[in-house]
């Protein structure tokens, strides 16, 4: 598991440790770790050319001290400063080691040092950065982006918000980010995560001072530990029965995909209920389903005691009958996953009663919106707002509805009113196509029915779904049906890693 802490928490931990250590020790540790990573990235050390982009804070100080260490190893180091000040001791250390320090001349002409560099180090701003990069920082960073050398970001790529991953203006795009003490949430969540490249954590000793993380990013081994392993004595009821209330005459595929997602993730039995033509189609594709014709306006019976979890909403419709069905499902005392049309029914003024129903439930509820659906559920933000501050809005929704929320998209995040948020490390942008969400709802539903707790089920389902896409796509677009082939591969891989 990787852990991320917010800036306030990092500063507090740093303060507690610094009070016991001689001045400058933490920066020296950070700089040593940074220099080591730079050396790994250089084809040869002696005679290599490294350019430091240096802002006015301690982030620039880290870069300067690392530059001094590189210069002592025979690297030609040039520091280009931006901003009103420069870290004096760091600049002196670099000069004493044979490096040069000068102010960036501005964006009017290409900087020859930058374009001749073997490696560029981004020490413009770190956790002290606010908003998009100002000038001359942005101009310097833009030149670095055009230069051929790889870019190593110090602590985080300058211009991304450390706590949210938001990019409010120009931001550096790094090949490698060397971060200190703990990960920052913005390194886990897009759009920030996308700018960070490969992230390396350097231990500077603040670990014991840090409280529990605010954001987690699991590794394959963590997923393996969370997945259920059916014992020899397991029968279909003990493995869990999932009820799927998806699909309609208009959207028959949603039912087929949600049922498939569940079966391919592993569940004792899927009970499908829906219109006759959809039942036929589900049975034609998945004959192992126990399917019954069900008109939500006449029967919303969930067969109490016979199902362990319910998926409701994908392609189901938003008629009054569908609202009645959702209401009845929410009235049950088993875990419920609400997706797609179910989320639409819960949104706005007309959805108020259903939203209250969710708040009143004692059994776990999981909402699985994409950014547009989350914006509608929250009612006071746009889809774009949600996309740039994914963690914040997923957390708000979790608090507002008193349940777990899985926000789909460029980084899938899972929030719960209690405990840290979790980000899913797998997936590809090519996953954004019709029907993939239906497969996800089935996959997560299967895990809920198997007794996996709600946040863990959401995480494992999202992980397997994203990994399935990575394994089947090979660079080509992924259809929702392809995902159904990828799920067993993803499961086998996770079990082998575990």
Ligand X SMILES: NC(=O)C1=CN([C@@H]2O[C@H](COP(=O)(O)OP(=O)(O)OC[C@H]3O[C@@H](n4cnc5c(N)ncnc54)[C@H](OP(=O)(O)O)[C@@H]3O)[C@@H](O)[C@H]2O)[C@@H](O)CC1
Residues β-bridged to residue 406: 414
Residue from 64, 93, 176, 204 binding ligand X (CB under 6 A): 204
| 56 forms part of the interface with K ion (CB under 5 A) | no
| 325 forms part of the interface with K ion (CB under 5 A) | no
CA neighbor of 458 nearest in space, from 471, 470, 441: 441
* Residue partners of 168: CB distance under 8 A and separation at least 6: 131, 132, 159, 161
Could you tell which of ligand X, K ion, none binds residue 137, using a CB distance below 5 to 8 A set by kind?
A: ligand X
Are the CB atoms for 99 and 77 separated by under 8 Å?
yes
CA neighbor of 399 nearest in space, from 424, 383, 421, 372: 421
How far apart, in whole angstroms, are the C-alpha atoms of residue 457 and residue 469?
A: 18
| 275 forms part of the interface with ligand X (CB under 6 A) | no
| 179 forms part of the interface with K ion (CB under 5 A) | no
Are the CB atoms for 338 and 346 separated by under 8 Å?
yes
| 209 forms part of the interface with ligand X (CB under 6 A) | no
Tell me how far apart the 2 most distant CA atoms of the chain are, in Å. Answer: 83
How far apart, in whole angstroms, are the C-alpha atoms of residue 213 and residue 4?
A: 6
Give whichever of 12 and 194 is closer to ligand X, judged by the CB atom: 12
| 178 forms part of the interface with ligand X (CB under 6 A) | no
Residue 248 marked as a ligand binder: no
| 118 forms part of the interface with K ion (CB under 5 A) | no
Minimum CB distance to ligand X, residue 109 (Å): 21
Minimum CB distance to ligand X, residue 386 (Å): 23
Residue 382 — φ and ψ, nearest 5°?
A: -95, 170
| 37 forms part of the interface with K ion (CB under 5 A) | no
Give whichever of 153 and 254 is closer to ligand X, judged by the CB atom: 153
Site size for K ion (CB under 5 A): 5
CA neighbor of 394 nearest in space, from 222, 190, 220: 190
Rg of the chain over CA atoms, in angstroms? 26
Give whichever of 10 and 244 is closer to ligand X, judged by the CB atom: 10
**Four-point Cα dihedral 277, 343, 485, 289, nearest 10:** -40
Any idea what the Cα angle at residue 30 is, between residues 27 and 32, rounded to 5°?
A: 110
Minimum CB distance to ligand X, residue 160 (Å): 10
Could you tell which of ligand X, K ion, none binds residue 275, using a CB distance below 5 to 8 A set by kind?
A: none
| 172 forms part of the interface with ligand X (CB under 6 A) | no
Secondary structure (DSSP) of 228-292:
----TT--HHHH-EEEEE---SS-HHHHHHHHHHHHHH--SEEEEEE-HHHHHHHHHH-TTSEEE
Angle between the 436-449 and 252-265 helix axes, to the nearest 10 degrees?
Answer: 40
Residue from 206, 405, 440, 478 binding ligand X (CB under 6 A): 206
Residue from 158, 347, 365, 479 binding K ion (CB under 5 A): 158
Could you tell which of ligand X, K ion, none binds residue 122, using a CB distance below 5 to 8 A set by kind?
A: K ion
Provide the b/e sequence for 461-480 (b: ≥16 CB within 10 Å).
bbbbbbbbbbbbbeeeebbb
| 182 forms part of the interface with ligand X (CB under 6 A) | no
Helix (H), strand (E) at residue 112: helix 112-115
* DSSP three-state, residue 55: coil
How far apart, in whole angstroms, are the C-alpha atoms of residue 408 and residue 368?
A: 7
Kindly write out the interface string for residues 122-151 of this chain, putting x where it contacts K ion by CB under 5 A and - elsewhere: x---x-------------------------
Residue 370 marked as a ligand binder: yes
Could you tell which of K ion, ligand X, none binds residue 30, using a CB distance below 5 to 8 A set by kind?
A: ligand X
Residue 438 marked as a ligand binder: yes
Residue 173 marked as a ligand binder: no
Residue from 42, 53, 56, 223 binding ligand X (CB under 6 A): 56
User: Percent helix, strand and coil across the chain, each rounded to 5?
Assistant: 45, 15, 40
Kindly write out the interface string for residues 8-47 of this chain, putting x where it contacts ligand X by CB under 6 A and - elsewhere: --xx--x-----------xx--x-----------------
| 79 forms part of the interface with ligand X (CB under 6 A) | no
Kindly write out the interface string for residues 100-139 of this chain, putting x where it contacts ligand X by CB under 6 A and - elsewhere: -------------------------xxxxxxxxxx--x--
Q: Which residues are annotated as a binding site?
A: 58-62, 122, 126-132, 155, 158, 254, 315, 370, 408-412, 437-438
Q: Which residues are annotated as a binding site for K(+)?
A: 59, 122, 158
Q: Which residues bind ligand X (CB under 6 A)?
A: 10-11, 14, 26-27, 30, 55-60, 62, 83, 125-134, 137, 154-155, 180-181, 204, 206
Q: Which residues bind K ion (CB under 5 A)?
A: 122, 126, 153-154, 158
């Amino acid at each position: 598991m990787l852990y991320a802490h917010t800036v306030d928490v990092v500063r507090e931990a740093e303060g507690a440790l610094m009070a016991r250590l001689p001045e400058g020790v933490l920066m020296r540790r950070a700089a040593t770790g940074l220099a080591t990573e730079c050396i790994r990235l250089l084809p040869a050390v002696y005679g290599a050319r490294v350019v430091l982009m240096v802002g006015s804070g301690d982030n620039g100080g880290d870069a300067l001290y690392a530059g001094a260490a590189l210069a002592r190893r025979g690297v030609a180091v040039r520091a280009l400063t931006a901003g009103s000040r420069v870290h004096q001791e760091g600049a002196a250390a670099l000069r004493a080691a044979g490096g040069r320090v000068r102010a960036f001349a501005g964006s009017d002409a290409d900087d020859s040092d930058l374009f001749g560099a073997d490696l560029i180090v981004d020490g413009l701003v770190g956790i002290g950065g606010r908003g998009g990069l100002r000038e001359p920082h942005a101009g310097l960073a833009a030149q670095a982006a055009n230069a051929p050398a790889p870019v190593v970001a110090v602590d985080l790529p300058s211009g991304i918000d450390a706590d949210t991953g938001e990019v409010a203006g120009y931001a550096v795009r790094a090949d490698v980010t060397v971060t200190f003490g703990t990960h920052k949430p913005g390194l886990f969540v897009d759009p920030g995560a996308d700018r960070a490249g490969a992230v390396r954590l350097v231990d500077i000793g603040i670990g014991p001072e840090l409280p529990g993380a605010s954001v987690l990013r699991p590794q394959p081994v963590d997923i393996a530990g969370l997945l259920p392993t059916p014992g020899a004595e397991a029968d279909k009821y003990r493995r869990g029965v999932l009820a799927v209330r998806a699909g309609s005459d208009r959207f028959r595929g949603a039912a087929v995909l949600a049922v498939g997602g569940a079966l391919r993730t592993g569940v004792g039995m899927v009970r499908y209920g829906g219109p006759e033509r959809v039942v036929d189609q589900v049975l034609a594709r998945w004959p192992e389903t126990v399917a019954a014709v069900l008109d939500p306006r006449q029967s919303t019976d969930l067969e109490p005691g016979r199902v362990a979890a319910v998926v409701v909403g994908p392609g189901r419709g938003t008629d009054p009958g569908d609202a009645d069905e959702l209401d009845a499902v929410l009235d049950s005392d088993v875990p419920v996953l609400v997706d797609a049309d179910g989320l639409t029914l819960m949104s706005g003024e007309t959805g108020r009663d259903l939203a209250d129903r969710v708040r009143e439930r004692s059994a776990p509820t999981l909402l699985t919106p994409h950014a547009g659906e989350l914006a509608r559920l929250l009612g006071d933000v746009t889809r774009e707002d949600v996309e740039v501050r994914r963690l914040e809005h997923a957390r708000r929704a979790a608090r507002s509805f008193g349940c777990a929320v899985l926000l789909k998209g460029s980084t899938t995040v899972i929030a719960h009113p209690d405990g840290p948020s979790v980000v899913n490390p797998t997936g590809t942008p090519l996953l954004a196509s019709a029907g993939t969400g239906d497969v996800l709802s089935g996959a997560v539903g299967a895990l809920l029915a198997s007794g996996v707790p709600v946040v863990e089920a959401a995480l494992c389902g999202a992980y397997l779904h994203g990994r399935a896409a990575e394994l089947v796509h090979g660079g080509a677009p992924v259809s929702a049906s392809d995902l159904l082939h990828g799920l067993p591969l993803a499961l086998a891989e996770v079990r082998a890693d575990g």
